[in-house]
Every structure is written in structure tokens, then in C-alpha cells.
Amino acid sequence: MDFVTAHQAAPVGPAPHPLFERRAREAWEHEHLAPGATRAIGAGNRARSEEPDPYRTCFERDRDRVQHSRPFRRLAGKCQVFIAPDNDHLRTRLTHAIEVAQVAMSIARPAGLNVALTEAAAFAHDCGHGPAGHASEEALSPFLEGGYHHAVYGADVVLSELNLCAETLDAVRNHSWNRPAPLTPEGEVVAWADRIAYVCHDFEDAVRAGIVRADDLPREVREVVGVGRSQQLGRFITAVVETIGATGRVGMRSTEAAALDAFRAFNFERIYLRPEAVRQAESVIELLRALTEWYAATPTAIGDEVAFADPVAAAVRHVSGMTDRYALRMAVDHLGWDPAKLPRGA
């Protein structure tokens, strides 16, 4: 065949080179993954049937769809802890999702679980978050029957157009610990990875922002996992992997689990619920509710992008998809908010 190379024609193997196609990789998974791991089968269990891809498994396609989606890209403009911060080194929802995926895959791979499913769910798990983090859930809950939960809204509304596999959507819907248990061990790994990642990197960001000091971390945390993020992640990940190896269940060794609980409690007290953060959240909730009411009363401002018969549902979908800075700008443009009084992060 005639072909072109980017540089020199690097040899891969004999010609014609045998390709590791989807069916072959499905057979490999069936043979080599752990007994309870989720196997990829054909096009996958989707709401709308599709033809299988010749080279990618169904969960690899899910991962690719998430990574190329608009909800995933918008995570770059949605805060993790600090709203629209001026410091570019602080985490966003996008960098959080990437770190969750790294932690989750570091657990799934040695445990013999389906890495592609784990990765897809980890990248997608926060696509249902609105602007300004968890404050958006309280802001938008009055407009939806049953309230607004980012995991449920992400799986059932935001990601619905991607036609992801049922196993991926279940892992997204139930990654939060206040939700029912995921149906797959990969989903349970993502739940642990989310908590491990945010506890460690939110503390690091708070230290960088001058909100806490590294040596403020409680002794019961420092003595078990240390004060540096790399060491902390290593200890927590190892504790999950070795627990799976010893018990055949997804969990964390009790010593590290107690340290993780203490670490998370410290973050809530000193970072998430500090007086400045509470005042910021109250301001954001007021802003987002006012924006939602304005768009519900002015649905033509949304345009044709979101097709809902219910203008309130359309307003919730539109506002929940906004980045932090865009929501703040819309509050100035449509509500007349004073730019000097907009909520801002560290």
C-alpha cells in the first residue's frame, strides 16, 4: 500500500502486521480480568443500539466520547473549591477529573478490573456539576422535583446525548457516597478515587492559597500518609489495592481509611466550611437562583441549544452548564450585579 510517515517509518512488526482488534481484546478480558470485573461486549448495553466498533471496546468508546464532549471541556472553567480564581495553579473540575482518573486506573489495573470502564466513569463523574461547585446543587435544587444532585443530573441529563453504556452511567450516577452502591467494582473504585483525589489536592491547593499550612494537618493523618500529596496518594492507593488483593472486595485498609476520614473532616472544617467559603457559597446560591429565574422567564435567551418543553428545566440545564466566569458575566449583563461584589475565589 502507498503510505506517508510523519518522520521515519518506525517498524512495528512483520507485514502484514496483526492488529489487536476489539474481538481479540474482549477475548483477552474474558480470560485475564478478575472474575468480578466488568467485561466489554460488542457495542455495549446502550439506550440506543449501535454497531460495535471494529477496534475499540464499548467502554473505550465511552471514554473517547466523554473526552471529546462539551460538558467535559467546560469542566476547565468550573471550580473545584475556589470560584474563578486568579491563580492558574489551583484545581478546576477538569484537572480534578484527570486526577481522579489517574488514581482510579492505578487501582483498577493491578486489581484486574476493566481499566477502560474505570477511566470513562472517572472522566465523566463530575460532568453534572454546575458553576461554583457544590453550591450549585443547593442553588438549583428548588427548581427540580427531587432536587439537583450533580451525579444523577450528570448521568441522566448532561451525558444522555452521548449514549454511554449503562455501566458507565451507573458509575457516574452513584460515585457519590450519599448515593446507592454502584453496580460494578469499577464504579466502586471511582467512588474511592474521587474521595482520595479531592481530599489530597484540595488540601494542597489550600496550602498554596495560604488558607492552611502543611503542618496544620492532624497528627493522625500525618503519621499515616504524610503531608505531601504524592506520598498521600501513594499510601491511599496502595491501601485500596492491597485490600482488594487480600479480601477480593473493593475497600481500604482500616488504618488508612481512618486517616482519610480525619483528613476529609479537617478539610471540611478548615477549607470548605470556613466563614469566607460559607459567605461565598451564599452569594453564589443567590446569584445562580436569580439567573435560573431570569432564563425561565426569558427562554428565548437560551436559544435552540437546549430543547426542553419546560422553560424551568431548560433554564436549569442552561445555568448548570455555565462556567464560573460565564455565570458571573451573565449576572452582570442580565441581572445588573455589581462586578465588584461578585463572589471570587482565592
- When pLDDT is averaged across residues 327-334 and rounded to a whole number, the result is 95
Total structural domains within the chain? 1
Kindly report, residue by residue over 2-38, the tens digit of the pLDDT.
888 888 777 888 888 889 999 999 999 999 999 999 9
DSSP 51: P
Local confidence band at 98 (pLDDT 50, 70, 90 cut-offs) = very high
- When pLDDT is averaged across residues 107-133 and rounded to a whole number, the result is 97
- When pLDDT is averaged across residues 50-60 and rounded to a whole number, the result is 98
Give a yes or no: residue 47 inside a domain: no
CATH number, domain with residue 227: 1.10.3210.10
Give a yes or no: residue 30 inside a domain: no
Mean pLDDT of the chain: 94
CB under 8 Å, gap of 24 or more: what pairs does 239-247 form? Answer: 240/107, 240/189, 240/192, 240/196, 241/106, 241/107, 241/110, 241/111, 244/107, 244/111, 245/110, 245/111
For residues 251 and 67, give the distance between their C-alpha atoms in angstroms, rounded to a whole number: 28
Give a yes or no: residue 304 inside a domain: no
> What count of residues does the chain have?
346
- Contact at 8 Å (CB) between 3 and 16? no
Kindly report, residue by residue over 163-211, the tens digit of the pLDDT.
999 999 999 999 999 999 999 999 999 999 999 999 999 999 999 999 9
Kindly report, residue by residue over 137-166, the tens digit of the pLDDT.
999 999 999 999 999 999 999 999 999 999
Domain limits for position 133 = 58-137+145-279
Residue 249 pLDDT > 60:
yes
pTM, rounded to two decimals = 0.95
Supply the pLDDT for residue 339. 86
- When pLDDT is averaged across residues 103-128 and rounded to a whole number, the result is 98
- When pLDDT is averaged across residues 58-64 and rounded to a whole number, the result is 98
Give a yes or no: residue 85 inside a domain: yes
Supply the pLDDT for residue 84. 64
Kindly give, in sequence order, each residue whose CB lies less than 8 Å from that of residue 223, ignoring residues fewer than 6 positions away. Answer: none
Give a yes or no: residue 189 inside a domain: yes
Task: For the chain, give percent helix, strand, coil, nearest 5.
Answer: 60, 0, 40
Give a yes or no: residue 215 inside a domain: yes
Give a yes or no: residue 46 inside a domain: no
Cis peptide before 52 (omega within 30 of 0): no
- Contact at 8 Å (CB) between 67 and 120? no
- When pLDDT is averaged across residues 225-239 and rounded to a whole number, the result is 97
Give a yes or no: residue 323 inside a domain: no
Of all residues in the chain, what percent carry a pLDDT higher than 90?
83
